[in-house]
Structure 1
Amino acid sequence: MSTVVGIIVEYNPLHNGHVHHYSRAKELSGAKHCIAIISGPFLQRGEPALLSKHARAEMALEMGVDLVIELPIHYAVQPAEWFAYGAVSLLEATGIVDYLCFGTESGSLHLLTPLAKQLATENNMMQQELARLLDQGINYPTAYSAAASTLFSNVDEKEEILRLLLQPNHTLGLHYLIALERLGSSIIPLTIPRESAAYHDTSPSPSLSNIASATAVRKLIFEGHIEAAAPYIPRYTQEIMKREFSAGKGPIHWESFRQPLMHLLMTQTLSQLSLLSEVTEGLEYRIKKLLPILSHATVAELLHSLKTKRYTHTKLQRMLTHILLSHTKEEMSPDELAKGPGYLRILGFNSHGQQLLKQMKKTSTLPIVVKASALTHDHLERDLQAAAAYANSYNQPQARELFRDYYEPPIRICSKSQVFSTKAYASDAAFLRNASED
């Protein structure tokens, strides 16, 4: 069986830095094939994606990824621990992934690996220190990095871990490693250094000709349309974005959801809000107190007003997403999330990906879903609701877009720039049906 490398992505949108990551992942692992786990309509930092999950899956296939699997929204809109656990669980469940490759700022795992081994089981000393720091009003990312550093006795190592975990890709990388340990996975982790553009850079570096962060690319798109971002994204990304935007399907941003979000904030009672995920420590009171003076505010202004030293912008965005989608604390609890995803939802594949699916039919530990109606699962129902809520933000949403997950099978690309329509691969229907039912 050919070697397979897994990558965990959002592609918001897919840019030249992602192409570099994909190419280096295959080169470093020596893998012939690649499986990507991709977030759906709402992302890890709590924001809506620029484009639909289908458009972003198509970008991945155009780049060369063989099989694209959706990360359920229960895990996609979560802090690093559960985002990583959900995504790694899917790669493990395929039964065919040999390597996991991800980017870090340093390109090294020499301190993250031993730390992950310690944190894979509950560490009382770290948890106590974390709780103490949070009680002081320190935000979670800063408190977590400080608490983790206490597990090292060497002063230099303490300082390095503290520095590493204040960088987002190292934090996510650590949680990928922890997830592999908790799952007892044989998947081998690999990392590559993030190329030049920093995670939060809002503009391209003048020293680079073709790499910019996703944040910078989105800023260029919102401010100057697709042409402004053209130097930093592949041609197929440009073409897919032009097609989607021309059809009124983007660019999507938080303000696209302002009306339904404000409606929910104004009509939910304090007790109803308190039941929703990420509405913690009395945030429902802060929301209700601010609403009278923010009833006509943008979502950005609402987030700015809610922001305090204790709560990061990301935590507040995730809270608003959970409110928008009515996600409760109970269904997003650690006990529930620890159960892991319940299925492998296929968004797209190429001819090599079809062969991988055939292998997975024998090796997968979870049902393979290519048709939404083929499986009944609470998480899948939430995925479908999120997709419908996202499509409802389009300029002129059509019923078929709102319920696309029910109507259309996965995207299939047979070769570069050859996207099959629904009818074009009807001959594969029996195979796909059998794969989802086994």
Structure 2
Amino acid sequence: MKTVGIVVEYNPLHNGHVLHYRKSKEVSGADAVVAVMSGPFLQRGEPAIASKRARAEMALAMGVDLCLELPVTYAVQPAEWFAFGAVAILEATGVVDCLSFGSESGTLEQILPLSRSLANESGELRAEIEKRLREGMNFPSAYGAAAAALFGESGPAAAELQELLTQPNNSLGLHYLIALQRLGSRIMPYTIPRVSAQYHDPLPGTSSIASATAIRNMILSQGLEAARPYMPEFTHDIMEREIQSGLAPVHWEQFRQPLFQALLTHTPDQLESFLEVTEGLEHRVQRSLSQLEQPTVDALLEALKTKRYTRTKLQRMLLHIMLNHDKASMNREELAKGPGYIRVLGFSETGRTLLKQMKRSASLPVIHQPARLEHPQLERDLAAAAVYANGQPRPQIRNYYSDYLLPPLTP
């Protein structure tokens, strides 16, 4: 049985995701699909609009056969470590033959050879990145410019490659390919071109495909029915149930109190110990807090944002502070060790067959219930799930412990 892996957030699952799912099976010729999905908090440093369980249910309804959780240790990270964690899980299953991801370019022609050049990150690359950061670039732009420069291109070719790498899905795709190289993986990569809406588009287009950002904006400002044309019916039904149950929609402002408490009760030296608090940001945070007109997360992010510090980087920083993610335990050396387990969120009948195969092929423990394993990454997952449940519109005590109480989803 040929199996394709995909890396997803489904925040929420929409028509563009359905197209990617179908095209992934088509181009790879796969019989089964394994999805590695972020849990309650996402790569851009945001809470998911619906719980990981609801989003895993959407994935299974679409046709995904096995849905696995990307630990929060990797889910809330820049592209390099987000990609590495996800690809490492797919590799560790021992059953995934290929990887499919979306990109603006729709081709591997430029980024595949680049990934081979960048797989062994050199001191020279870090120096080139740092040089551009000092010039005022944000990290994604600095990385793209440094990679283009070191790839040996010059003139228009370098500019073209740099422009290509500023597009978020191309950049993330490059890091998937770098992860495959670093892991020595035999997984075959494919890329599917994005159509209609782009990653950050805040408004829907004229087709039935809108970005997840636009769909979330519609749900939060106009209600679920406004977003209905852009999502499959099963997503609408699951979201409707979650909203009626007081479990969704979830957004940053619902975490204002625990976040502000963490910011107000830590000294600058203590804040500096958290992940992504860099270059004196601990002082900028405290100055910005004292100057706010309204104590909202959005107001704080606007006060903190500069050309150098993107909203995404700042959101991740605030999330790491709120979740108590410190630099000492989540440094590059620790992250390079990879995920410590494979966490099952849900599976189909075909997925059940894959899980049986994984008893022989998996290189990491496969867990259905967290009580069966002790691991610092898992402890962070459990804490993140509880914090997320506390931020739902109508918090329910049992949801704080749902990771312990609920088995993986099945048909």
The bucket for the TM-score relative to the shorter chain is over 0.9
Cα displacement string for residues 226-277 of structure 1 (whole angstroms, at most 9, x for unaligned residues) = 1100100000000000111111111000001001111111111112111111
2-side partners of 1:355 and 1:122: how far apart? 38
2-side partners of 1:142 and 1:396: how far apart? 40
The alignment of Structure 1 onto Structure 2 pairs a total of residues equal to 410
Q: CA deviation at 1:397?
A: 1.9
Q: CA deviation at 1:204?
A: 1.4
5 Å-filtered alignment, 1:353-392, equals 353-392=351-390
5 Å-filtered alignment, 1:218-297, equals 218-294=216-292, 296-297=294-295
State whether residues 249 and 393 of structure 2, in contact with CA within 8 Å, keep that contact through their aligned partners in structure 1.
Answer: no
My pick for the range that moved more, 399-408 or 144-153, is 144-153
My pick for the range that moved more, 104-113 or 286-295, is 286-295
5 Å-filtered alignment, 1:101-116, equals 101-116=100-115
SS at match of 2:223: helix
2-side partners of 1:156 and 1:108: how far apart? 19
My pick for the range that moved more, 77-86 or 261-270, is 261-270
2-side partners of 1:33 and 1:157: how far apart? 39
2-side partners of 1:64 and 1:203: how far apart? 28
1-side partners of 2:157 and 2:296: how far apart? 44
2-side partners of 1:235 and 1:99: how far apart? 29
Match of 1:175 in 2: 175
Query: Letter of the aligned partner of 1:371 in structure 2?
Result: Q
5 Å-filtered alignment, 1:20-99, equals 20-99=19-98
Cα displacement string for residues 338-393 of structure 1 (whole angstroms, at most 9, x for unaligned residues) = 00000000000011100100000100000001001000000000000000000001
Match of 2:298 in 1: 300
Q: CA deviation at 1:156?
A: 3.9
5+ residue gaps, structure 1: 414-438
Query: Letter of the aligned partner of 1:366 in structure 2?
Result: L
Match of 1:349 in 2: 347
Cα displacement string for residues 291-317 of structure 1 (whole angstroms, at most 9, x for unaligned residues) = 223274210010000111211110000
Q: CA deviation at 1:41?
A: 0.4
Cα displacement string for residues 28-75 of structure 1 (whole angstroms, at most 9, x for unaligned residues) = 000000000000000000011000000000000000000000000000
My pick for the range that moved more, 62-71 or 391-400, is 391-400
C-alpha change, 1:396 and 1:220, in structure 2 (3 Å) is closer
1-side partners of 2:232 and 2:14: how far apart? 6
2-side partners of 1:407 and 1:354: how far apart? 21
State whether residues 41 and 390 of structure 1, in contact with CA within 8 Å, keep that contact through their aligned partners in structure 2.
Answer: yes
Query: Letter of the aligned partner of 1:118 in structure 2?
Result: S
1-side partners of 2:196 and 2:163: how far apart? 18
2-side partners of 1:30 and 1:194: how far apart? 19
Matched, 1:132 2:131: yes
Percent identity of the aligned residues? 57
Q: How does the TM-score come out when normalised to structure 2?
A: 0.98
SS at match of 2:298: helix
Match of 1:418 in 2: none
SS at match of 2:324: coil
Query: Letter of the aligned partner of 1:75 in structure 2?
Result: Y
2-side partners of 1:331 and 1:53: how far apart? 25
Q: How does the TM-score come out when normalised to structure 1?
A: 0.92
5+ residue gaps, structure 2: none
1-side partners of 2:157 and 2:107: how far apart? 14
My pick for the range that moved more, 81-90 or 294-303, is 294-303
Match of 1:146 in 2: 145
5 Å-filtered alignment, 1:316-327, equals 316-327=314-325
State whether residues 21 and 103 of structure 1, in contact with CA within 8 Å, keep that contact through their aligned partners in structure 2.
Answer: yes
Cα RMSD of the aligned pairs, angstroms, is 1.0
Match of 1:432 in 2: none
State whether residues 262 and 295 of structure 1, in contact with CA within 8 Å, keep that contact through their aligned partners in structure 2.
Answer: no
2-side partners of 1:301 and 1:63: how far apart? 37
State whether residues 61 and 349 of structure 1, in contact with CA within 8 Å, keep that contact through their aligned partners in structure 2.
Answer: yes
2-side partners of 1:344 and 1:165: how far apart? 30
State whether residues 57 and 68 of structure 1, in contact with CA within 8 Å, keep that contact through their aligned partners in structure 2.
Answer: yes
1-side partners of 2:286 and 2:293: how far apart? 11
State whether residues 250 and 393 of structure 2, in contact with CA within 8 Å, keep that contact through their aligned partners in structure 1.
Answer: no
SS at match of 1:65: coil
Q: CA deviation at 1:154?
A: 4.8
Query: Letter of the aligned partner of 2:42 in structure 1?
Result: L
Moved over 4 A (4+): none
Q: CA deviation at 1:134?
A: 1.1
